[in-house]
Amino acid sequence: MAKILLVDDDSFVRQLFKGLLRTNEIALRTASNCAEARREFRTTDFNLVILDQRLPDGKGLELFSEMRAERPQQLAILITGYGEIREAVSALRMGLFDYLTKPFENLDELDAAIRRALETDRAYREIISLREELQANDRHPPIIGRSGKIERLLLQAKQIAPLDTTVLIEGESGTGKELLARQIHRQSTRSNGPFLEINCGGVSETLLEATLFGTEQGVFASGAEPSSGYFEKADGGTLLLDEISDMGAKLQASLLRVLQERSFARVGGTVLRTSNFRLICTTNKTLVDEIKAERFRSDLYYRINVVAMRVPPLRERREDISVLALYFLDQFNCKFGKSVPGLTPAAMAMLESAYWAGNVRELQHAIERAVAVSTDQFITPIELGMSERKADIPESAITDPALSFREARERFEKEYFTKLLQSAGGNVSEAARRAGIARQNLYSYVERLNIIKK
């Protein structure tokens, strides 16, 4: 259950929020001044603090600064009047999640802002938990995501991991196929055995053959010592052939014989050897199409396609982008010795709407660049350099310094939701799913912005 602290001396506002947030998913506590808020804050770990700028015994932003000093990841939304917007805008770079202006003209927009903040808090907490788990177990990075597609993929991996059967993992470059292969190995009965991988397109065919099969003495140079290959070294463990679609025809035939006969000889040798390894293959191409083009053997395909798994591209699981972005933010903060606290809502919205042709790897590089150029403040679209990338949001949506913050935000929202609906084929439910907001809230946005009229 999410815990929210509302700090406002106006009894009408307190009653308004009590009615708005009356659900089984939210526990609302209220305070009418800074002193009460401090007492509440010391005793409860709140997911979100909503505070008025003008309080009887102080200012909301000053109170928020105290809270952030005690809990650096604390999220807050400021309630302010139109005359104090400038202060709120400057505070966005210092860690304020968002601000709302009184009087409240649109309760759906208010509700949407709260939901976005709670979702961001949830992602922060997931990253903290994940970091602690990785430090405790010294594990490799896991597949991160909470979308239905990722949950089903991880469940499938857990089910097939102990079965010791050959697995073919399909997916675009940068989706995390190698991470899935490692996860299958870790959850298998071979987890204590070796995990070896080689990219079939990253080396020459001669070197790939020697790496897999091993060599006898003097094959490549006079007096060279015999060397065992990955087939032998993977005995009792798992062998990953990454991007197997790039393997040449000769090696495809050789690999097929190994899988059929379960024996092989080193390059330059005649002694048959055996090895008990599990084979996992990945491909960023559709092997059926490669077979039709006569670039891949159909008999080898049927040998490796015992259990097929598909890692979805990032654009098919946009609800995972926020937690992935925060995970990479945490990584690069540690790597660069920085303390960038997070991303502004506008920056996160841009990430969630981008096409990501390079998938998770491209997102990782975008966050790395943003952290590298950041000055330990919240990342904005400027640090992301979204105008330099082919994002689904047009360049004109990036804030124009000649505009007021409100005008720039309205322009961004209109272009964002217009492009979002276009990418979803006009399907409001699908657009709401991609944006991570309730369907009725999306209707509220597009009607207010004159994108869709009643």
pTM of the model: 0.73
Q: Could you list the beta-strand ranges (E) of 220-359.
A: 227-228, 238-242, 278-283, 307-310
pLDDT in tens, 86-128: 777 777 767 788 888 887 777 777 888 898 889 888 888 888 8
- pLDDT value at position 80? 85
Q: Could you tell me the sign of the dihedral formed by the alpha carbons of 95, 120, 82, 6, in that order? A: negative
Among 205, 208, 283, residue whose Cα is nearest residue 242: 283
- pLDDT value at position 391? 41
Q: Choose between 422 and 305: higher pLDDT.
A: 305
Residue 371 predicted with pLDDT over 90: yes
Q: Which secondary structure element, helix H or strand E, spans residue 430, and what is its range?
A: helix 428-435
**Poorest-pLDDT segment among 110-119, 168-177, 289-298:** 110-119
Residue 25 burial (CB count, 10 A): 8
- pLDDT value at position 177? 96
Topology match between the domains 148-314 and 320-448: no
Alpha-carbon distance 245 to 285, whole Å?
Answer: 7
Alpha-carbon distance 217 to 208, whole Å?
Answer: 17
Residue 407 predicted with pLDDT over 80: no
**Poorest-pLDDT segment among 171-175, 331-335, 395-399:** 395-399
- pLDDT value at position 97? 86
Alpha-carbon distance 72 to 62, whole Å?
Answer: 14
The ranges assigned to domains in the chain are: 2-134, 148-314, 320-448
- pLDDT value at position 236? 96
Q: Choose between 438 and 281: higher pLDDT.
A: 281
CA atoms within 13 A on the CB side of 125: 13
Residue 430 predicted with pLDDT over 80: no
- pLDDT value at position 59? 92
Residues 6+ apart with CB under 8 A from 44: 3, 5, 29
| CATH 1.20.1530.20 fits domain 320-448 | no
Torsion of CA 424, 428, 429, 431, to 10 degrees: 40
Residue 402 phi, psi dihedral angles, 5° rounding: -80, -15
Residue 257 predicted with pLDDT over 50: yes
Confidence of residue 135 (pLDDT cuts 50, 70, 90): low
- pLDDT value at position 396? 45
Region 148-314: CATH code: 3.40.50.300
Average pLDDT, the chain: 85
Among 312, 177, 182, 156, residue whose Cα is nearest residue 244: 177
- pLDDT value at position 402? 57
CA atoms within 13 A on the CB side of 337: 0
Q: Tell me the CATH number of domain 2-134, given options 3.40.50.300, 3.40.50.2300, 3.40.630.30, 3.40.630.10.
A: 3.40.50.2300
Yes or no: say if 418 and 450 are a contact pair by the CB < 8 Å rule: no
Please work out, in degrees rounded to the nearest 5, the angle formed at the alpha carbon of residue 144 by the alpha carbons of 141 and 147: 165
- pLDDT value at position 244? 96
Question: In a 3-state reduction of DSSP, which class is residue 310?
Answer: strand
Please work out, in degrees rounded to the nearest 5, the angle formed at the alpha carbon of residue 375 by the alpha carbons of 371 and 381: 60
**Poorest-pLDDT segment among 154-158, 177-181, 433-437:** 433-437
**Ramachandran class of 314: left when φ > 0, alpha when ψ lies in -120 to 50, beta otherwise:** alpha
Yes or no: say if 2 and 118 are a contact pair by the CB < 8 Å rule: yes
pLDDT in tens, 348-369: 888 988 889 899 999 999 999 9
Among 253, 340, 359, residue whose Cα is nearest residue 296: 253
Mean per-residue pLDDT for 376-386?
82
